[in-house]
A and B are shown apart, each in its own frame.
Chain A
Amino acid sequence: MGIKLKFNNIQKHFFGVTALDGVSFEIEEKHTVGLIGENGAGKSTLMNILGGVLLPDGGNMSLDGDAYLPSNPRDAAQRGVAFIHQELNLFTNLSIAENIYINSFPSLKKTPLIDKKKMNDSLKSLLKSLDLNYSPSTTVENLAPGERQLVEIAKALHSDAFLIIFDEPTTSLTARETEKLFTILDQLRSEGRTIIYISHILGEVKRITDDVIVLRDGKVTGNSETGLIEIPEMINQMVGRESDNLFPERSAKPKDSPILEVKSLSQPGIVGNVDFSVHEGEVLGVFGLMGSGRTEMARMLFGVDTYRSGSISIDGTPLPRNSPQSSIERGMAFVTENRREEGLLMNVAITENIGLVSLPDYCRNLVKWVDAKRMNEEAGIIGDSLKLKASDIRRQPAMSLSGGNQQKVVIGKWLMTKPRLLIMDEPTRGIDVGAKYEVYSIMDRLAADNSGILFISSEVEELIGIADRIVVMSQGEVVKVFEKKDFDVTALMAAAFREAVA
């Protein structure tokens, strides 16, 4: 088999940060290659160069044996390279079909008009194969994040590219969708396409790739056949040290006194009769399939969305409806699942982002003078404790961080409020193993300090690893609450599918 793609000494610097420092490796044709590395290791940057989004500062590439240097995404597409970005790249005001066909609309019998029927018909089976049960003419605005990610995938599958890049495609997908995606990847491979697959979930990488490339600080630190390398070794190559524990030991046991009590919360069509409580020192996991209503429930709890009936109380006192501000005053914190749109002020400095929620705590006197110095210091400390990888956190905008580090900023801004109850919606999505461990440790520390944590996740393993109890939701209702002793992957999955629950 020939060489599909060759990187030779690729360099890329941003504002003094070295993102790629002489990256060289080759990818064999028809292989599926895993690309792994810590947050900020340079994976997305390398792919952006490959996809024509960025130009390298030095080095060269060759594709199919010819020199290759795309100056924009169109060039890349013409050379048969398709790219599913880490950040969703969809037009929310257009339909699914239009997003997929955005650059290749079929025309109606030699007129300049679009053949809508053809376009929509041709996609029906594709969407079905992805379990995306929407008409192709549905506007993307109406889709949940996970569903949007499926559209991105559909977009790449639909192109006839022979080199397809997946940059963390499963971050918004649950187990079932991920399985689906893997079947599709298999199919692509059998069609003879070459795939680059970036993920922080090393199990996935181990399972589906032929080769693994490891990046650390912009350099290649590992390059081997997947069969010849085990996960601990991958981690070793990624972080430069051994690590056997994926989850920290829980340092304290939950108390009996409840912090959050939710009683028959309902909103017609969305959630119904949700009852549960989070206790002091407890990590309460929430599991469910995509679209099971976990996010919506969390948003109601925090006061972002309205609900029709039921009660939410913190420390025994009911919470006013629909006011994130008073939720925060009562000690709640909320890491949303959508960091780009709801988590960060993208072009604002990192410290400002971290300080945003706790601003009132750094204000003096009547005019609410902000003590910027003190705030920046504290934000810096939080940043350090999260091992945030940035060159100058007072000036650098959040936008310039790697995906995982952005997530850390979001978590950081809530940690700064020293929350009593922290709601985390898919907080480990897109962050590397090391950072995940840190997030779990943070949860543990908070719990040990008597805070409560509501931890929404689609990864059963991490819930089992860190939660004290797990609530399983399906179709907007709480199906079952599992005690720690009953934790079991199959039982949890079964509950999520509502099998044998009755």
Chain B
Amino acid sequence: MKDRNWQRFILKNTTFILFVLLFLIFGILAPRFLSFKNLEIILSNSSYIGIIAVGMTFVLLTGGIDLSVGSTMYLSAVSSGTLIAAGWPIAPTIAVSLLIGIAMGYVNALIITRLKIVPFLATLVTMTVGRGMGLFVTKSVQVDFPDSITLMSTVKVFGFIPLQIFIFGLVVILAMVFLRLTKSGRQLYAVGNDPLAAERAGIQTRPLITSTYVISGFFAALGGFISITQIGRVSAGFGSGDEFDAIAAAVLGGASLMGGVGSVFPGTVLGTVMIQMIQAGLVYTAVDIYLHPIVMSLIIFFAVLLDSVRTGQLKKMERRTIMKITS
């Protein structure tokens, strides 16, 4: 019996175990990797894409997809840059840029729920239009941010947590509580599992779906802002391609594109941090840069393979036992 519990524990936590193993392997190959500072860097570099991936998880849970997050990041970043250049103080600028994220999400939601256009197309449209509008504002010229913004990345909350990690943590905790412990959170899973049945069970699916895109847009803008505090500059390509990174992180964390399956923690968080960690590990171990993506993709492949084997095994273990246990 004890054996079985161990087995179950290992199966339930394979991704996490793999994570720790990878950490140790990189650590053996490059001892400096095992430092606390490195962990902090990995987390800090995970935070912006992690925040976006959390928003993406909400959308994926309902069976949707949000391709527009990269453009949302760009549009909201460009706006805040323009406002700062026009002399606005920081706080209202941030507020406006977050509002733009919310607005983009709301537009997505309107197109999807009112016009009944499939999420892929709807967000493809807002992705192109959003980028175009951003370019319209900047004429493709990069936007630089003053030190008052970039210095935020060095702020330590409570004296030791870097601001971006703090915000990331906050986002994760809020999202987790929402998904696990609130009515809307649980209903989100229901909608993703079977939208028709959800409708029949009397769930108000439309506001729920709307909220996921709004959340995703909001987190995209927030993630974009975090990124700006770190890199200080927004050029025309800012955020493009990030939608794929965010989706990849969520899916690596176990979310399904078909909806109904996925979690923010450990799921998406682990997915994001894992990718960042591998990336860092490759730099630490000085692997030929031509081989970086090759090694990275092999590790991810292995992680996903392990996950699917594990799911199969767990299913088997949880199969009901019918026979009486004699003896």
Contacts and interface: CB of A to CB of B under 8 A. Distances in A.
CB–CB under 8 A between A and B in the complex? yes
B260 interface: yes
A180 to B, nearest CB: 20
B203 interface: yes
Contact of B323 (A77, A114, A270): A270
A26 B194 CA distance: 34
Given A72-B202, A77-B202, A105-B186, A91 B322 contact: no
7 contacts: A89-B200, A94-B193, A103-B203, A113-B182, A114-B186, A293-B322, A293-B323
Given A94-B193, A112-B183, A89 B323 contact: no
Given A72-B199, A90-B197, A94-B190, A113 B319 contact: no
B183 to A, nearest CB: 4
A114 B177 CA distance: 10
Nearest to A147: B320
A85 B201 CA distance: 10
Contacts of B190: 91, 93-94, 98, 102
A91 B193 contact: yes
A291 interface: yes
A142 B322 contact: no
Interface string A425-446: 0000000000000000000000
B204 A93 contact: no
Interface residues of A, number: 36
B200 A53 contact: yes
A269 B321 contact: yes
B318 interface: yes
Given A94-B189, A98-B186, A475 B323 contact: yes
Contacts of A194: none
Contacts of B177: 113
B322 A85 contact: no
A476 B322 CA distance: 6
Given A93-B189, A94-B190, A477-B323, A73 B182 contact: no
A1 to B, nearest CB: 29
State the 10 A-B residue pairs at the shortest beta-carbon distance, nearest first. A269-B321, A74-B202, A476-B323, A476-B322, A73-B202, A91-B190, A105-B183, A91-B193, A293-B322, A113-B181
A144 interface: yes
A378 interface: no
Given A269-B321, A272-B323, A475-B323, A102 B187 contact: yes
Given A73-B199, A105-B183, A93 B261 contact: yes
Contacts of B181: 113-114, 116
Q: What secondary structure prevails in chain A residues at the interface with B?
A: loop
A73 B319 contact: no
B2 interface: no
Contacts of B192: 93
B186 A271 contact: no
Of residues A85, A92, A93, A270, which shows the largest number of chain B Cβ atoms within 10 Å of its Cβ?
A: A93
B322 A269 contact: yes
A36 B186 CA distance: 37
B324 interface: yes
Contacts of A91: 189-190, 193-194, 197-198, 260
A296 interface: yes
A112 B182 contact: yes
B323 A271 contact: yes
A130 to B, nearest CB: 17
A103 B202 contact: yes
Interface of A: 53, 72-74, 76-77, 85, 89-94, 98, 102-103, 105, 107, 112-114, 116, 142, 144, 268-272, 291-293, 296, 475-477
Contacts of B203: 102-103
Given A91-B189, A270-B323, 13 more contacts: A85-B200, A89-B201, A91-B260, A94-B189, A98-B186, A102-B186, A103-B203, A105-B183, A112-B183, A144-B320, A268-B323, A270-B319, A271-B322
A89 B197 contact: yes
Contacts of A269: 319, 321-323
Nearest to B198: A91
A114 B183 contact: yes
Nearest to A92: B193
A260 B45 CA distance: 63
Contacts of B198: 91
Contacts of A476: 322-323
Nearest to B324: A475
Contacts of A53: 200
Contacts of B200: 53, 73, 85, 89
B323 to A, nearest CB: 4
Contacts of B323: 268-272, 293, 475-477
Nearest to A83: B200
Of residues B192, B201, B260, B261, which shows the largest number of chain A Cβ atoms within 10 Å of its Cβ?
A: B201
A87 to B, nearest CB: 9
Interface in B193-228: 193-194, 197-204
A477 B186 CA distance: 39
A268 B325 CA distance: 10
A291 B261 contact: no
A94 B322 contact: no
B12 to A, nearest CB: 14
Contacts of B318: 142
Interface string B293-327: 00000000000000000000000001111111000
Contacts of A93: 189-190, 192-193, 260-261
A91 B205 CA distance: 14
Of residues A85, A94, A293, A296, which shows the largest number of chain B Cβ atoms within 10 Å of its Cβ?
A: A94
Given A91-B193, A102-B187, A105-B183, A270 B321 contact: yes
Nearest to B178: A112
Nearest to B325: A269
A244 to B, nearest CB: 40
B180 to A, nearest CB: 9
B255 to A, nearest CB: 12
B10 to A, nearest CB: 20
Contacts of A74: 202, 204
A264 to B, nearest CB: 14
Contact of B322 (A73, A90, A116, A475): A475
Nearest to A107: B183
A475 B323 CA distance: 5
A337 B235 CA distance: 59
A157 to B, nearest CB: 16
A268 B316 CA distance: 11
A94 B183 CA distance: 12
A293 B324 CA distance: 12
Contacts of A76: 202
Nearest to A104: B183
A102 B322 contact: no
B178 to A, nearest CB: 9
Contacts of B197: 89-91
Nearest to B259: A93
A269 B321 CA distance: 5
A94 B190 CA distance: 7
B322 A291 contact: yes
Interface in B25-74: none
Contacts of B194: 91-92
Nearest to A89: B197
B214 to A, nearest CB: 17
A139 to B, nearest CB: 9
B284 to A, nearest CB: 39
Of residues B189, B199, B204, B322, which shows the largest number of chain A Cβ atoms within 10 Å of its Cβ?
A: B322
